[in-house]
């Protein structure tokens, strides 16, 4: 009989919640917040994406509008690139507000991203960014707790549990019914995520895999809270003590765990300050020599190699501009040094991120937070991907200009251009070359890559759900004890 | 219930009903509190969290101080090496980077504030400053997203939750257990009983926060006045939240309903009001895009290469009349012209850059008004302000870097414009950054 009674139980619980002022207030609060954040985040993401696209177009136009000039001038003129936000940033902006939005690309330097939103936002909104994912991860569990704390404990204190028992209801069925009723509420909370995800998939902006993982992950996460809530409600003596215990659980897992994890990560893996590293990079680059100086002794062995390759004895006799070759070689050596330092730094930051992810075993919040960011493509890995792509684009651009420097200019004109105005005029190459440079093309990581990154965390969440189910099964005997 | 002697009672009843002193009320309530396992646990957990936050804050400030020491040492060493390879003034000015830093104030351990998003160590050189000053990648963004576990976080977010836990069943429990009428009758004056009970509970939580703070303040050698003000802010947070929760506590509702309402209030004031504040800020304050500042500066600096030299020099002399007599630049390249167009580039972007900073300050002022509606924002801002880690402090640091850059220019211009023979010894007098004044 118990299988047939479960739907009745679920409907009965829902009816009771509808009559309950607390539950109604909680529902209203939840709906309001989800609506507010969805609208806010959508508008914010749209505006931000628009801004960045506008700036990128402006920067591209400015680059292409440069007149005929010496190619090395363009190396120093440089270029700006802006990070296009990931489509799923509408649901979970992740670290986007905390990282710079644009990078200035120029010769000889690997610049960092500048102008982070967080620096402009000030003291408001430092408790995570207010997004639909934030609401589902942080506040919906709270609503589930407020509504569900009395689910079993209430039946017991009112004596209705005893009546159900007398009618032959199995204790497990009561817990299952309550859990399903609460899960219905959770489903309502996940629905907006699913809706936005479906729109993104339908309009071809996003692949199905990451959306399924993101939405499904939030579903699993809320199921964990449903399980914990019903289990504690079954164990507690009164609804009040169930509520107090659950609030403590929530505060520990949601309010405290992320910050404690961050402190542990910061202590466990040290990332040297960027300014220290900047000095080390400058020192390493100085050791390479100055590629603006064609006679720099550091390029002597390179010169010998090039002369041997072309079978000449003087750089003046080379069929290409020696100065351009030095610029090219210097850029390559410099980029290798800068990339080595950057890779080391990123490895350390990834180490910190791995510590944060390890806390997924301590709090389901960290599991879903990192799953969600990984699936959306708004996590640290994505930021690294952006700065690496920007660096690759910078290097390509500078080397194309250095190639022009080597092939389109004569060594004699290039050497005389500071003194001789006619030689200077001849060192200017056609502006048509600027427009021929490839545009920066950056998009969020391929869906398969993001799914691979998010899957282990989905596994952890799955285990959390399993654990909640096992605990629920284990406490069912306590459920009906008066 | 009474602690007075029976004899004393009989003599006093003739004049007025005698009740125990308020101090005795407090002592009794404190004893009752100590017998309550749940309440003691809440106080102990809050105290442990506050102590952890103080420990972590002190460790972080220590790390930042060590980083600054190391930064300055590396910087001096690097500058010496860079200058050793130079042979003329212009080249030396190009090669020499200079450290600027914003040391954490003693109280910074309690409120790390903006220090994880606004850089506090930066090297600048004689080139256009607008191209150097807007660095924003300070650390691992996933850590910044999580936020810091400092005392201001505990006071702003955890303390109100602890108050909800400790106060929600204050009255409801007595009512649910049927003790309420008896309690009020024996206490004589119901209001005094509740006041004593509330003072003891809120006081216990406040002390759980204040004692670790005082230990940290002593270790960090925070001036007594600052410690007192910060203690006042922490206490005010406890009192304001209590006053907000009391109307709920005295409602004839079940304890669960009161707790739910209390948590709802927390969500509203700690999370929703700041969000709404951000929406209002976005609507009220015209956003100045930082990218525009850098863009305008870059265009101005770049265009100078193609403009007639006189155009740059005239613009430069207009803002620097002391160099009006400098000889015109004839050759395709001259260092004084090079640094003049760097400065003209900064001046071209100056208005936009000021607007950018003004917009940040204006947003901060709106946030200050939002603080009147949210004790969470208010206590964070109060502590950050006292600790010199607020938005205003980052803007002051920005101004110091600018002032220092001006001192650097004032040092180099005579070398670049008057062109005395290159003399490395004169570089000994290079101005050093002063974290107090720039």
| 8 A C-beta contact, residue A437 and residue A195 | no
Nearest Cα neighbor of A420 from A410, A409, A412 is A412
A contacts of B271 (beta carbons < 8 Å): 127, 130, 138-139
Alpha-carbon Rg of chain A, whole angstroms? Answer: 30
| 8 A C-beta contact, residue A286 and residue A294 | no
pLDDT tens digits along A367-378: 999 999 999 999
Interface of B with A in 38-67 (CB under 8 A): 38, 45, 49, 52, 56, 59, 67
pLDDT over 90 (residue B237): yes
| 8 A C-beta contact, residue A126 and residue B147 | yes
Q: Is B299 on the interface with A (CB under 8 A)?
A: yes
- Give the strand pairing for B121-124 and B98-101: antiparallel
| 8 A C-beta contact, residue A215 and residue A186 | no
Of B70, B78, B306, the CB nearest to A282: B78
| 8 A C-beta contact, residue A52 and residue A82 | yes
Sequence-distant (≥ 6) Cβ neighbours of residue A368 within 8 angstroms: A137, A217, A218, A220, A221, A457, A461
Q: Does the beta-carbon distance from A262 to B143 stay under 8 Å?
A: yes
Q: Does the beta-carbon distance from B136 to A112 stay under 8 Å?
A: yes
Q: Is B317 on the interface with A (CB under 8 A)?
A: no
Q: Please report the pLDDT score of residue A44 as a whole number.
A: 78
Instruction: Give the least confident one: A25-29, B53-57, B130-134.
Output: A25-29
Distance from CA of A260 to the nearest CA of B (A): 7
pLDDT tens digits along B349-392: 999 999 999 998 998 999 899 899 999 999 999 999 999 999 99
Q: Please report the pLDDT score of residue B136 as a whole number.
A: 64
Q: Tell me the C-alpha to C-alpha distance, in Å, between residue A437 and each of A79, A137, A327, A400, B184.
A: 11, 44, 18, 8, 84
Residue B134: pLDDT band with limits 50, 70, 90: confident
CB atoms within 10 A of CB A208: 13
Q: Tell me the C-alpha to C-alpha distance, in Å, between residue A454 and each of A60, A341, A370, A382, B271.
A: 34, 27, 8, 13, 28
Q: Is A188 on the interface with B (CB under 8 A)?
A: no
Chain A residue closest to B172 (CA)?
Answer: A240
B237: left (phi over 0), alpha (psi -120 to 50) or beta: alpha
When scoring B65, B143, B298, B378 by the number of chain A Cβ atoms within 10 A, the one with the most, hence best to mutate, is B143
* DSSP H helices in A291-321: 300-310
CA–CA dist A206, B354 (Å, integer): 40
Chain B residue closest to A118 (CA)?
Answer: B117
Nearest Cα neighbor of A255 from B161, B113, B51, B41 is B161
pLDDT over 90 (residue B239): yes
Distance from CA of B433 to the nearest CA of A (A): 16
A contacts of B142 (beta carbons < 8 Å): 95, 262, 349, 352-353, 356, 379-380
| 8 A C-beta contact, residue B389 and residue B113 | yes
pLDDT over 70 (residue B3): no
How many residue contacts between A and B have a Cβ separation below 8 Å? 259
DSSP-derived 3-state class of residue B289: coil
CA–CA dist B326, B317 (Å, integer): 9
Termini Cα distance of chain A? 23
Distance from CA of B410 to the nearest CA of A (A): 25
Q: Is B331 on the interface with A (CB under 8 A)?
A: yes
| 8 A C-beta contact, residue B135 and residue B118 | no
Q: Does the beta-carbon distance from B153 to A259 stay under 8 Å?
A: yes
pLDDT over 60 (residue B397): yes
Termini Cα distance of chain B? 65
DSSP code per residue over B28-82: HHHHHHHH-HHHHHHHHHHHHHHHHHHHHHHHHHHHHHHHHHHHHHHHHHHHHHH
Of B81, B99, B380, the CB nearest to A283: B81
User: Following CA atoms A244, A249, A250, A251 in sequence, which dihedral angle do they give, to the nearest 10 degrees?
Assistant: 90
A contacts of B372 (beta carbons < 8 Å): none
pLDDT tens digits along B163-182: 999 998 888 888 878 877 77
Sequence-distant (≥ 6) Cβ neighbours of residue A30 within 8 angstroms: A139, A140, A143, A188, A189
Residue A198: pLDDT band with limits 50, 70, 90: very high
Instruction: Give the least confident one: A137-141, A147-151, B8-12.
Output: B8-12
Q: pLDDT exceeding 70 applies to what percent of chain B? A: 93
Of A263, A275, A424, the CB nearest to B122: A275
A289: left (phi over 0), alpha (psi -120 to 50) or beta: left
Chain A residue closest to B52 (CA)?
Answer: A260
CA angle B167, B171, B174 (to 5 degrees): 125
pLDDT tens digits along A423-480: 888 989 999 999 999 989 888 999 999 999 999 999 999 999 999 999 998 888 776 5
Q: What pTM did the predictor assign?
A: 0.88
Q: Please report the pLDDT score of residue B13 as a whole number.
A: 43
Q: Please report the pLDDT score of residue A126 as a whole number.
A: 64
pLDDT tens digits along B62-110: 999 999 999 999 999 999 999 998 899 999 999 999 999 999 999 999 9
pLDDT tens digits along A1-55: 445 678 888 888 888 887 777 777 777 777 777 777 777 777 777 888 888 888 8
B contacts of A55 (beta carbons < 8 Å): 289, 291, 295
DSSP-derived 3-state class of residue A81: strand
Chain B residue closest to A423 (CA)?
Answer: B332
ipTM score for this prediction = 0.89
| 8 A C-beta contact, residue A83 and residue A311 | no
């Amino acid at each position: 009989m118990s299988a047939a009674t479960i739907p009745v139980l679920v409907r009965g619980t829902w009816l009771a919640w509808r009559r309950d002022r607390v539950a109604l207030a909680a529902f209203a609060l939840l709906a309001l917040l989800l609506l507010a954040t969805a609208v806010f985040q959508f508008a914010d993401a749209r505006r931000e994406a628009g801004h960045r696209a506008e700036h990128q177009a402006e920067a591209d136009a400015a680059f292409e509008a440069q007149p005929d000039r010496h190619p090395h001038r363009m190396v120093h003129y440089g270029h700006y690139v802006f990070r296009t936000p990931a489509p799923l940033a509408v649901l979970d902006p992740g670290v986007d507000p905390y990282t710079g939005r644009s990078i200035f690309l120029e010769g000889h330097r690997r610049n960092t991203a500048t102008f982070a939103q967080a620096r402009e936002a000030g003291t408001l909104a430092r408790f995570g960014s207010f997004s639909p994912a934030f609401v589902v991860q942080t506040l919906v569990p709270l609503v589930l707790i407020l509504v569900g704390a009395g689910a079993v404990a209430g039946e017991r204190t009112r004596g209705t549990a005893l009546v159900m028992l007398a009618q032959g209801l199995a204790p497990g069925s009561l817990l299952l019914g309550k859990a399903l009723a609460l899960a219905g509420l959770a489903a309502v909370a996940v629905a907006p995520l699913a809706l936005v995800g479906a729109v993104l998939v339908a309009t071809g902006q996003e692949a199905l895999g990451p959306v399924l993982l993101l939405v499904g992950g939030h579903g699993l996460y809320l199921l964990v809270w449903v399980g914990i809530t019903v289990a504690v409600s079954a164990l507690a003596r009164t609804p009040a003590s169930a509520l107090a215990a659950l609030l403590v659980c929530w505060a520990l897992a949601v309010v405290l765990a992320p910050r404690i994890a961050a402190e542990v990560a910061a202590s466990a893996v040290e990332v040297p300050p960027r300014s220290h590293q900047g000095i080390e990079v400058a020192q390493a680059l100085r050791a390479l020599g100055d590629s603006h100086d064609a006679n720099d002794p550091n390029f002597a062995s390179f010169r010998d190699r090039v002369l041997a390759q072309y079978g000449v004895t003087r750089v003046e006799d080379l069929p290409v501009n020696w100065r351009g070759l030095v610029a090219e070689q210097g850029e390559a050596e410099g980029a290798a040094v800068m990339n080595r330092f950057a890779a080391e730094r990123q490895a350390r930051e990834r180490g910190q991120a791995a510590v944060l992810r390890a806390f997924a075993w301590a709090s389901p919040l960290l599991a879903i937070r990192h799953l969600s960011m990984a699936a959306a493509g708004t996590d640290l890995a994505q930021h690294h991907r952006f700065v690496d792509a920007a660096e690759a684009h910078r290097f390509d651009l500078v080397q194309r200009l250095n190639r022009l420097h080597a092939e389109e200019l004569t060594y004699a004109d290039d050497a005389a251009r500071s003194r001789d105005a006619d030689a200077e005029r001849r060192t200017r190459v056609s502006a048509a070359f600027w427009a021929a440079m490839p545009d920066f093309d950056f998009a969020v990581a391929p869906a398969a890559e993001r799914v691979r990154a998010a899957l282990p965390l989905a596994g952890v969440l799955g285990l959390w759900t399993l654990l909640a189910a096992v605990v629920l099964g284990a406490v069912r005997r306590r459920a009906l004890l008066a | 219930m009474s602690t007075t002697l029976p004899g004393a009672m009989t003599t006093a009843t003739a004049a007025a009903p005698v009740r125990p002193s308020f101090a005795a009320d407090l002592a009794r309530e404190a004893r009752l509190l100590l017998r309550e396992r749940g309440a003691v646990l809440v106080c102990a957990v809050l105290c442990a969290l506050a102590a952890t936050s103080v420990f972590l804050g002190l460790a972080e400030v220590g790390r930042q101080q060590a980083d600054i020491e190391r930064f300055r040492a590396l910087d001096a060493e690097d500058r010496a090496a860079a200058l050793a390879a130079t042979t003329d003034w212009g080249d030396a000015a190009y090669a020499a980077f200079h450290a600027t830093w914003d040391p954490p104030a003693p109280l910074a351990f309690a409120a790390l504030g903006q220090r994880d998003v606004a850089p506090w160590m930066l090297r600048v050189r004689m080139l256009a400053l607008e191209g150097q000053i807007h660095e924003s990648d300070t650390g691992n963004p996933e850590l910044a997203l999580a936020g810091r576990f400092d005392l201001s976080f505990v006071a702003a977010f955890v303390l109100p939750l602890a108050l909800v836990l400790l106060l929600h069943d204050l009255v409801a429990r007595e009512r649910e257990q049927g003790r309420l009428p008896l309690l009020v009758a024996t206490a004589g004056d119901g209001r005094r009983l509740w006041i004593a009970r509330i003072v003891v509970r809120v006081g216990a939580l406040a002390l759980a926060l204040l004692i670790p703070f005082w230990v940290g303040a002593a270790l960090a050698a925070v001036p007594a006045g600052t410690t007192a003000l910060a203690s006042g802010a922490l206490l005010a947070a406890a009192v304001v939240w209590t006053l907000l929760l009391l109307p709920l506590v005295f409602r004839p509702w079940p304890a669960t309903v009161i707790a739910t309402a209390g948590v709802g209030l927390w969500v509203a004031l700690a999370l929703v009001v700041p969000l709404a504040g951000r929406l209002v800020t976005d609507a009220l304050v015209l956003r100045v895009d930082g990218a525009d500042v850098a863009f305008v500066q870059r265009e101005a600096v770049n265009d100078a290469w193609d403009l007639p030299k006189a155009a740059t020099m005239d613009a430069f002399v207009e803002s620097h009349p002391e160099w009006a007599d400098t000889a015109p630049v004839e050759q395709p390249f001259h260092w004084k012209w090079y640094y003049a167009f760097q400065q003209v580039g900064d001046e071209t972007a100056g208005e936009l850059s000021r607007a950018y900073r003004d917009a940040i300050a204006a947003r901060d002022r709106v946030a200050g008004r939002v603080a009147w509606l949210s004790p969470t924002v208010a206590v964070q801002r109060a502590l950050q302000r006292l600790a010199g880690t607020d938005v205003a402090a980052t803007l002051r640091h920005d101004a110091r870097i600018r002032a220092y850059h001006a001192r650097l220019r004032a040092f180099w211009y005579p070398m670049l414009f008057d062109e005395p023979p290159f003399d490395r010894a004169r570089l000994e007098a290079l101005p050093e950054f002063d974290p107090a004044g720039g």
